[in-house]
Amino acid sequence: MCGLLGLVCPTEENAGKATNAVANALPCQRHRGPDESDTWHGGEVVFGFNRLSVIDVEHSHQPLSWGPPESPGRYTILFNGEIYNYLELRAELAEHHGATFHTDGDSETIIVAYHYLGSAMVERLRGMFAFLVWDSQRHVVFGARDPFGIKPLYYASGPNGLAFASEKKSLLHLAGTLGISEEVDRRSLQHYLLLQYVPEPESLHRSIRRVESGTSFTVAPGGQLVTERYFSPRFSAREINDEGQAERLHEEIADVMRDSVAKHMRADVTVGAFLSGGIDSTAIAALAKEHNPDLITFTTGFERQGYSEVDVAAESAAAIGVKHVVRTVSAEEMMESLPLIVWYLDDPVADPALVPLWFIAREARKHVKVVLSGEGSDELFGGYSIYREPLSLAPFERVPGSLRKVMGRVSTAIPEGVRGKDLLRRGSLPLEERYYGNARIFRDDQLRELLTHFDPHVSHTDVTAAAYRTSQGWDPVTRMQHVDLFTWLRGDILVKADKVTMANSLELRVPFLDNEVFRTASTIPLEQKITRDTTKYALRQALAKVVPGHVLNRRKLGFPVPIRHWLRDEMHDWARTIIRESQTEQLLDKKAVLQLLEEHRSGVLDHSRRLWALLVFMIWHGIFVENRLTPQIPEPHYPVKL
């Protein structure tokens, strides 16, 4: 797990002049790789790298070059991530192509596979990755990002070249070199306030974008980026007609999860696991324990009843027999740490759960260098409670369209906070209009009052339309899962997982988001995912012998944060100060924001999630636009080897 920075220039002369600029832009992402740092210049490219050494610690230094006997050093790679089937792939390349290797790591495997298999090799990789490969013979860069978007990859193009980076702040350091603008993208801001994250491929800076998940690309010096989608998730439910077929499905799920965890445990350093009170992380920890009897698990919580899974996680740790570490977080720590966390994020994410995750990652890094976590289970196996909504809204489907429109107008007239208002509104809408992922922060009518330049043409359909087109004919629940793979998962879940763990030089691995796991999960029929009583039915049945009984059918809380209470009490004055001092008048109506805060404090309405989204953005703006807030970035102080 590392941080890469690559610059493709129009000419070799341009690249030579930009070498120092790339070296100077590397330190701001040093937390991603505090073990080593290096730059390399060849032809029209400049590569820079920060390494967190996990596999083949003594070798596999990057930038890494390789070539066949007739052209040694032809290729040079920058690679962030882990390839979990690299041993099997190396053996295949050696047997069928006579490939030779000079290291024992997965980085070299990618180069060799590219040489012998071409761009199609990316479909053979089982892991999380973002990489660039420079071919000095063809003068072209080939790169790719993993199927689900676990590892980030930003890019920016200007008259002086095209640059890629694991963190956007490195590209901002290169803005002058590239000749790009640092202007805020109002469209992306409106999407953020609608969704609580900036959707791919956007970023909040107009000139900086992201390579989308499941995409490969090529670029030649002075040329345009040419992208190709190599992974398009497809769901095709199998038929289950008897109990025997159901049992075989459950056995397949258990087997593929056991295999995925085994491969995710491959490392030359210590591996631990995050542990909440739900089935996902508990199953991962229990399966990991089979490979590491000394496994350490980590959880976090708050000293407020109903906002902590510490006790349940501790009970689970005891049941599976692992050492357990707990970190509690206070409101004061939340307020003090938020500017630093926002700096690490690059773009705002309005998910309060990322703050306790940051603290537990910081605690975990004192003990291990790699952790496993349960992200992705809900999207693959049907775990979100909202996936049961089609069952509750089924009666609305029998209502004539004209009457449903009347219901929608009636819901508009009902005052905020009145029970049934949102159910009536959602029941009046088709799935494509009502569902755009797990996050719903501001509605359009609310954004009109808040934004100084509301654009009525910006909508959630900008983000979801393609996914809905692809999933036509599928059942509603599967369509919702499909949308979440392209929205909530890669926009919120994986962004916060990557950013806050790498902020602490901790590698996070997610065994549910595995090619083979998805291959099995994509065949689960609707009745094995959602019932009127539970979610993730097939997964629960498959893991019944793996997880303790007290967790098997328990609703997951994750890392819930009591901001609803804190913004009325401990955090109120802090929030008011952030709003008053923020220089965002050209973007937001600050009086409207202050009104939300006071309405929330009085208990008239619960605006906690909306306020949190605005506060995170204002802090982001203070750091990256106003240059008024300057968090003290700690030096990585972890041991090189652990």
Q: How far is CA 481 from the centre of its chain?
A: 16
Q: Are 119 and 96 in contact (CB under 8 A)?
A: no
Longest dimension (CA), the chain: 75
* Contacts (Cβ under 8 Å, ≥6 apart) of 92: none
Assign 341 to helix, strand or coil. Answer: helix
Burial string for 62-72 (b: 16+ CB within 10 Å, else e) reads: bbbbbbeeeee
Instruction: Check whether 455 is labelled as a binding-site residue.
Output: no
Residue with tokens 């009666």: 395
Q: Are 170 and 24 in contact (CB under 8 A)?
A: no
* Cα-trace Rg, the chain: 24
Q: How far is the C-alpha of 251 from the C-alpha of 257, rounded, in Å?
A: 10
What is the token pair recorded at 156? 């920016």
Sheet holding 296-301, edge to edge: 323-328, 296-301, 271-274, 370-372, 507-509
Q: How far is the C-alpha of 180 from the C-alpha of 159, rounded, in Å?
A: 8
Instruction: Check whether 73 is labelled as a binding-site residue.
Output: no
Question: Which residues are catalytically annotated?
Answer: 2
State the CB neighbour count (10 A cutoff) for residue 246: 17
| Ramachandran region, residue 240 (left: φ > 0; alpha: ψ -120 to 50; beta: rest) | beta
Task: Name the strand (E) or helix (H) holding 300.
Answer: strand 296-301
Q: How far is CA 198 from CA 439, 490, 560, in A?
A: 12, 10, 22
Report DSSP state, residue 121: G
Instruction: Check whether 158 is labelled as a binding-site residue.
Output: no
Q: How far is CA 428 from CA 396, 411, 425, 473, 477, in A?
A: 7, 9, 5, 20, 18
Report DSSP state, residue 635: P
Q: How far is CA 486 from CA 45, 70, 150, in A?
A: 31, 43, 12
Among 139, 103, 133, 101, residue whose Cα is nearest residue 119: 133
Q: How far apart are the first and last CA of the chain?
A: 14
Pairing mode of beta strands 226-229, 154-158: unpaired
What's the full length of the chain, in residues?
Answer: 642
Assign 175 to helix, strand or coil. Answer: helix
* Positions at the binding site: 106, 373-374
* Positions at the binding site for ATP: 373-374
